[in-house]
Amino acid sequence: MIKINEHYLKLQESYLFSDIARRVEAFVEAHPGKELIRMGIGDVTHALPPACIEAFHKAVDDMADDATFRGYGPEQGYLFLREKIARHDFQARGMDIEADEVFVSDGAKCDSGNLQELFAVDIKVAVPDPVYPVYVDTNVMAGRTGAFVDGRYQGLVYLEGTTANGFVPDLPKEKVDLIYMCFPNNPTGATIDRQGLQRWVDYALEHKSLILFDAAYEAFITDDSLPHSIFEIDGARRVAIEMRSFSKLAGFTGTRCAYTVVPGECTAYTAEGRPVPVHQLWRRRHTTKFNSVSYPVQRAAEAVYTAEGKEQTGKLVSGYLANARYMRKAMEKLGYTCFGGENAPYVWVDCRTDSWEFFDRLLSEAAVVCTPGVGFGLCGQGYVRLSAFNSFEKVEEAMERIEAVLG
């Protein structure tokens, strides 16, 4: 008899996006011809930068000729891409990250879901609340949690984000082994400063823990005082792994390319306490289960690092950031307390009422779709997320409509 992994049965259906879709559908049916403005989905809206498209096309042509055709590539990713990542994203900012420490992948979602399999089932896992659901669900699948009770999985440590701590969680009271962090944050848009991040690295060094640092929104950091990478922090090379993505930076959400940095010194331990380099484990996993991203996609990602690519992605990001600032200002003018929207493409609004109630009001009265914060965890109740991934014209109109309803 073929038996299932019963941990899958503990998973809660994520009703968030299906619930949103259902309510939107009902609204559209009742109001034919009324134009909806969607500020709910965390997907980019602008096309790939021309520099990437040009490199993409050229690489496709390479595949059409025996002389330039590429078959299986290196599992870790082509050196031409890993070298540029190491140089531009890390060495240029004074960090000692080498191309050999970079693993190219098909997504930060995939990496943040896959990394947990390197670690024992009985470790203590800490996740933020509100949370990017991948961190939680992949640990449920692996059997690291108990049942779902009153909105939370037993056995997980939830690091609470609140208005009081500005959605930068405090260190846990108990000892935890694996810590998920995401800054700039999805969904709250919160950022962490050097001092704050140093406290987490020191905690991990003291407790022999490991931090999985999701920096998918790094490109949105404009405040010079904020760290762009956890590897700017002293001691982080021993206790941290960082995930980055071309998705939000360069519109690769559909094209798929990302990378993970596992420094040579990053260490985990056997049950007896013998240190083992995590790099060695991740390389083994990566080369066994994955064959990297297609050659044309890696060439397209490489073009992000050319002068034109930097200029074009810079424009994309600053456009989204201008939207975010505009949205935050408009909500604050209406008297709402907001987080994010400054070094992140999300504005997290304290809606002073139930998340779904506020969602329904914006939908029915303004025809604007947002994301109810409670969908990201218990601490998200009473908040909604507004996404800046849109054209400025749509954002302007959405804020006008919201002002008319809430003003």
Ligand X SMILES: *Cc1c(COP(=O)(O)O)cnc(C)c1O
Task: Name the minimum Å distance from CB 135 to ligand X.
Answer: 9
Tell me if 192 contacts ligand X by CB under 6 A: no
Nearer to ligand X, 248 or 286 (CB): 248
| Residues 143-182, interacting with ligand X (CB under 6 A) | 182
Tell me if 186 contacts ligand X by CB under 6 A: yes
Nearer to ligand X, 296 or 345 (CB): 345
Site string for ligand X, 305-344 (x = CB under 6 A): ----------------------------------------
| Residues 215-234, interacting with ligand X (CB under 6 A) | 216
| Residues 107-146, interacting with ligand X (CB under 6 A) | 107-110, 132
Task: Please choose, out of 102-110, 328-336, 355-363, 367-375, the segment that lies near ligand X by the rule CB under 6 A.
Answer: 102-110
3-state SS assignment for residue 76: coil
Residue count, binding to ligand X (CB under 6 A): 15
Site string for ligand X, 344-383 (x = CB under 6 A): ----------------------------------------
Task: Name the minimum Å distance from CB 42 to ligand X.
Answer: 5
Q: Pick from 207, 401, 389: which is nearest to 316 by CA?
A: 389
Task: Please choose, out of 79-87, 93-101, 114-122, 244-252, the segment that lies near ligand X by the rule CB under 6 A.
Answer: 244-252
Are residues 361 and 347 in contact, defined by beta-carbon separation less than 8 angstroms? Answer: no
Tell me if 214 contacts ligand X by CB under 6 A: yes
Nearer to ligand X, 204 or 344 (CB): 344
Task: Please choose, out of 70-78, 106-114, 230-238, 348-356, the segment that lies near ligand X by the rule CB under 6 A.
Answer: 106-114
Nearer to ligand X, 42 or 264 (CB): 42
Task: Name the minimum Å distance from CB 254 to ligand X.
Answer: 9
Nearer to ligand X, 109 or 328 (CB): 109
DSSP state of 315: H
If 0-12 CB within 10 Å is exposed, 13-18 middle and 19+ buried, where does residue 71 land?
exposed
DSSP state of 91: G
Nearer to ligand X, 115 or 402 (CB): 115
Task: Name the minimum Å distance from CB 181 to ligand X.
Answer: 10
| Residues 36-55, interacting with ligand X (CB under 6 A) | 42
Long-range (24+ apart) CB contacts under 8 A made by 171-177 are 171/199, 171/200, 171/203, 172/126, 174/124, 175/124, 175/207, 175/209, 176/124, 176/125, 176/126, 176/207, 176/209, 177/119, 177/123, 177/124, 177/125, 177/207, 177/208, 177/209, 177/210
Residue with tokens 């024992």: 120
Planar angle of CA 48, 95, 56, nearest 5 degrees:
20
Task: Name the minimum Å distance from CB 244 to ligand X.
Answer: 8
Tokens for 232, please give them.
């700017």
| Position with the least CB separation from ligand X | 107
What are the backbone dihedrals phi and psi of residue 152, each rounded to the nearest 5 degrees, phi first? -145, 150
Q: Pick from 269, 272, 233: which is nearest to 119 by CA?
A: 269
Task: Please choose, out of 189-197, 243-251, 348-356, 392-400, the segment that lies near ligand X by the rule CB under 6 A.
Answer: 243-251
**What is the rounded CA–CA span in Å between residue 95 and residue 205?**
19
DSSP sequence for 125-186: EEEEES--HHHHHHHHHTT----EETTEETTPEEEE--TTTTT-PPPPSS--SEEEEESS-T
**What is the rounded CA–CA span in Å between residue 57 and residue 64?**
11
Q: At what angle are helices 392-406 and 307-333 packed, to 10 degrees?
A: 10
3-state SS assignment for residue 216: coil
Task: Name the minimum Å distance from CB 115 to ligand X.
Answer: 12
Q: Which of 38, 144, 248, 286 binds ligand X (CB under 6 A)?
A: 248
List of residues contacting ligand X (CB under 6 A): 42, 107-110, 132, 182, 186, 214, 216, 245, 247-248, 253, 258
